[in-house]
Structure 1
Amino acid sequence: MAGRSGLSSIGRGIPAASIDWRSLLSGKTKAGDAKVVLSGSAWSPDFIQELLPAAERTALLYHVSYLCLAGFPTLERLLRSRALETQLLFGSSEALLFKCIGTSENLVKSLFPMLKIAVEKNKPTLAVKYLEKAKAWITKIITEVEQIVERYNSHNRDIATTTSDVITEKTETDKKIESQTKEAEIAETTVEKYKKDLQQVTAELADKEKEINDKNSELEELVRAISKRSTGLGILSAMVPFLGAIISSIVQAAKNPGDKARIQALQNKINLLVSDKTALKQREYTLQNEVFSWQMQAAKAKMELGSIPSPEHLDEVQTCLSRIQQILVQLQKFWEKIGAMLDYLKDKTFVGEDMIDDLDILKDVFLESITTAGEVWTKFGAVCAKANGIFSVQARDAYSFLEINPSSLSKEEWQSQYDAVKEKLELINPSPPAIEGTGTEEPPASAITQ
């Protein structure tokens, strides 16, 4: 059985030009010749982990909002209803991520082993059958992600309505109050200052994200060009969607010194941009906590006057839910690209006559690429499992504060709950550490040299 001899076997006289890898790696679909390009998720599977701080922060912001509405029963009930809807939506998100774990596991434990068998026995029709089955799994996930994204969209509109209702009642109540304390005025002024700083950092973060995506796209274009001349890299790139996981193999496959230098420069630039993004996220997180702290000081001062605090924390709840929605859209696009890649693999390899003729020669290439793909997909499943665990906790335990009527709390109890929420918010990591093996480290030594 071929397999563990290393990908150096790829460079031994295989007629790459006779195989339609140009179409396979050019990013064009059979139906519409439209490019399918991943966004920032092309570098590593860690984009899923960005769900975690948003999910954790949502429940804590609801809790603060709930405390601030103590003494206003109508608004308490309205907020409790919205929080329970969010809790149910997180339960559905947990189930969706569990299916992503299952699909990743099916690819690793079912599809890839079956593809190995098909390649070893030189049975392309069998490979096509397995690829079509995998495409059915992925199509189902895409549909379910679309449905969840729409539910988040609808739910965010409901929260916006709730925020508007709170503002309306606040305006009517504030008409009865003619003055504010000095403390409240200072707090509100400080809040505005930090908000301005936060907006600037958030804008810089968006610019940095765009730079990362642009560099990823540039690297993808270069990889496609190199893949036209390298059968081995073509096969590996078709099975591993994260460029960061195979960057050394890409460098090794590039024969032109100029290509090598450009790849290295792009890799260095992406790593630098990711580092800058992490620093900006930390700065954004610090400013969010400053805004939160001063908002609470202003809220407490107004509550003592009998005024309804501004529903600013509900605005941030919407921001967190929107972030989760954006990442799920990214997940949807990710699975759509994987579905397209499977189609490429089926239509441009096992179905094409040239590939069928060369399949016996390319056994080592396929077997090594399938092994590497299995390792990367296993890591992707681990990231989904971590996100699934967070949503499980959020859906099950994080909303237990709704069982208590905030109006019934003594001043000391109210302060104790507020302090506890503030501490938890400050402990949330805006950039969760990557699960070992999901970053840019290279798979076991390979030599994609053709």
Structure 2
Amino acid sequence: MPINLQMPALSPTMEEGTLAKWLVKEGDEVASGDLLAEIETDKATMEFEAVDEGVIAKIVVAEGTDNVKVGDVIAIIAEEGEDVDVASEGSASEPKKAKPEPAPEKTEEKAAPAPKKAAEPEPEEKPKAAAPADGDGDRIKASPLARRLAEQKGVDLAALKGSGPGGRIIKADIDAAEGGTAPTKSETAAPAPTSAATPAPAPAANDFDIPHTSEKLSGMRKTIARRLTEAKQTIPHIYLTVDIQLDKLLKLRSELNATLEPRGVKLSVNDLLIKALAVSLMQVPKCNVSIDGDQLKTFARADISVAVSIPGGLITPIITSADTKSLSTISTEMKDLAGRAKDGKLKMHEYQGGTASISNMGMFGIKNFDAVINPPQAMIMAIGAGQKRPHVIDDSLQIATVMSATGSFDHRAIDGADGAQLMQVFKDLVENPLGMLA
């Protein structure tokens, strides 16, 4: 029996993906654990492994194909001892032919023949076009996508030379043919009558004759757009901002780094803020929550999702149990996660989940901003730049290093007073950082 290799769901939110690259070709033998393809999901580009043994009989979806639905057949594997050509022809991706309806039974009664209209000649039966064949006498080798595009665009498959595996015609060949490098069906068929009432094609939307470039949205960018739109449309955000003095935290960081230098660990300000947010959530558990239908979940630990900018988008690797981990452990894990995030090498459990998020744009000089909640979480902390500012200390105006932090809260799950309490605890821990180490 041929094995249908289906587009996998490589993340819980994945509905479709891009088949970025095939790592095998037709005729290759594969075993369980072999890498088959690179697939661009809604989060990252991930490698897809084989779970069955056999021979790649047919590649159904060409590499570079966008919007491949989860569950769609992308290749056919012939099992050991099975004829590869037979397995290829038995592809589940090809539409099944409908069974012909049985002819009506003859009866003894003869109905009176309907009179023919003299003004209407009987239609002339059109000859059926023969199926195109390749040089070996078989049907033309073409991917289902290429056949569908050829039908839509009127491209004659018989006039094309395939550039895919085994000479198979793929999407790129259809695109080239449409550009004028191969004849189309319309060049040999009689032209269809045109109607004078047919309107001219409308100009492209938002063109305005302005010079520009266009590119398709990546799977990650489409997911970001969809999820953030849903977040702003469905979550009633409430924003609470506090100004926080950083001088004591900066001093503690400097002292700790001097101690940790022999171990090769260097704490960032963000490492300390991750710890402060995690401890704050445990002290104010009413903010360490999530809405789940008609239930409110309260979490027993603080897993902090940390926003990391990567090429083409944003991802939030997670520091699990950040409330109980040491600062050196948080720092080491964060460097590892951020590095692998930028290389697209994170595993699913390393970016799926989290009880709250933190987003720091201080390195860009941003003073303050309002972050969008990452559902199903109920809060995110937005961190601005630490700046030298006039600040009242012990009833006197002095210069201090101050940053603004803004908490975004899901008002369905978190009341304003509880959000304000979390912001106050966070401020106290940052201004008196030894408290987060106790």
State the TM-score bracket (shorter-chain normalisation): under 0.3
Larger fraction in helix: 1
Larger fraction in strand: 2
RCO greater where, 1 or 2, for CA within 8 Å and sep 6 or more?
1
Normalising by structure 2, report the TM-score: 0.21
Normalising by structure 1, report the TM-score: 0.20
